[in-house]
């Protein structure tokens, strides 16, 4: 039968190993956002920070027709006037429009952030495909509260 000292030594070793594993698995410094630079048709560049296939769900029931692609990006011109913002977002939307149409989706979302850090205020654009096949959008200012 192992002695009490032997059992405490094993427990201490396990605690040290778990602490080391936790340290290495949770990171050792500042988080650096991941992004992919994309050149738009106008020649401007944006940094795509997120591209998701969003399942339409309503209280754990699949809501058919609510599925869409959602893209988040950081703009190179955060202080642009509203007309320039809308033009840029429409160009960014063109990156996901063909896939949205191929999948038969009737909506898409594009979020325009001022920086690659997902904090503070941003603009959410909701695109909707009409019965004639043309896309229209609405813009809504939003704020990330979890990162404040």
Structural domain that includes position 11? 1-30
**Same domain, residue pair 123 and 75:** yes
Tokens of 17: 């190993």
How much of the chain, in percent, has pLDDT values that exceed 70? Answer: 87
Among residues 100, 112, 98, 91, the alpha carbon closest in space to that of 67 is found at 100
Average pLDDT of every residue of the chain:
87
Q: What is the pLDDT of residue 13?
A: 83
Structural domain tally of the chain? 2
Q: What is the pLDDT of residue 32?
A: 77
CA distance 70 to 93: 9
Q: What is the pLDDT of residue 138?
A: 95
CA distance 18 to 15: 5
Q: What is the pLDDT of residue 49?
A: 95
Among residues 122, 114, 125, 32, the alpha carbon closest in space to that of 74 is found at 114
Comparing 20 with 96, which gets the higher pLDDT? 96
Q: What is the pLDDT of residue 29?
A: 65
**Same domain, residue pair 10 and 55:** no
- Backbone φ/ψ region at 27: left (φ over 0), alpha (ψ -120 to 50), beta: left
Half-sphere exposure for 40 (CA within 13 Å, toward CB)? 19
CA distance 15 to 69: 44
Q: Is the pLDDT of residue 129 over 60?
A: yes
Strand partners, 72: 50, 111
Comparing 112 with 147, which gets the higher pLDDT? 112
**Same domain, residue pair 71 and 26:** no
**Same domain, residue pair 87 and 140:** yes
Comparing 56 with 138, which gets the higher pLDDT? 138
**Chain segment 74-97, per-residue pLDDT in tens:** 999 999 999 999 999 999 999 999
**Same domain, residue pair 103 and 128:** yes
Q: What is the pLDDT of residue 147?
A: 54
Find tokens 């290495």 and name the residue.
24
Please provide residue 89's backbone torsions phi and psi, each rounded to the nearest 5 degrees. Answer: -65, -35
Give just the sign of the alpha carbon dihedral 5, 8, 13, 16.
negative
Q: What is the pLDDT of residue 64?
A: 57
**Same domain, residue pair 48 and 20:** no
């Amino acid at each position: 039968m192992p002695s009490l000292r032997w059992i405490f030594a094993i427990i201490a070793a396990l605690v040290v190993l778990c602490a080391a594993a936790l340290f290495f698995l949770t990171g050792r410094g500042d988080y650096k956002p991941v992004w992919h630079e994309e050149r738009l048709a106008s020649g401007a560049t944006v940094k795509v920070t997120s591209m998701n296939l969003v399942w339409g769900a309503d209280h754990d029931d699949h809501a058919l027709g609510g599925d869409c692609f959602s893209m988040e990006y950081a703009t190179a011109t955060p202080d642009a006037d509203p007309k320039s913002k809308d033009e840029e977002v429409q160009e960014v939307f063109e990156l996901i429009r063909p896939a949205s149409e191929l999948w038969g989706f009737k909506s898409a979302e594009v979020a325009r952030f001022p920086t690659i850090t997902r904090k503070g205020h941003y603009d959410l654009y909701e695109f909707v495909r009409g019965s004639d096949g043309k896309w229209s959008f609405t813009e809504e200012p939003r704020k990330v509260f979890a990162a404040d």
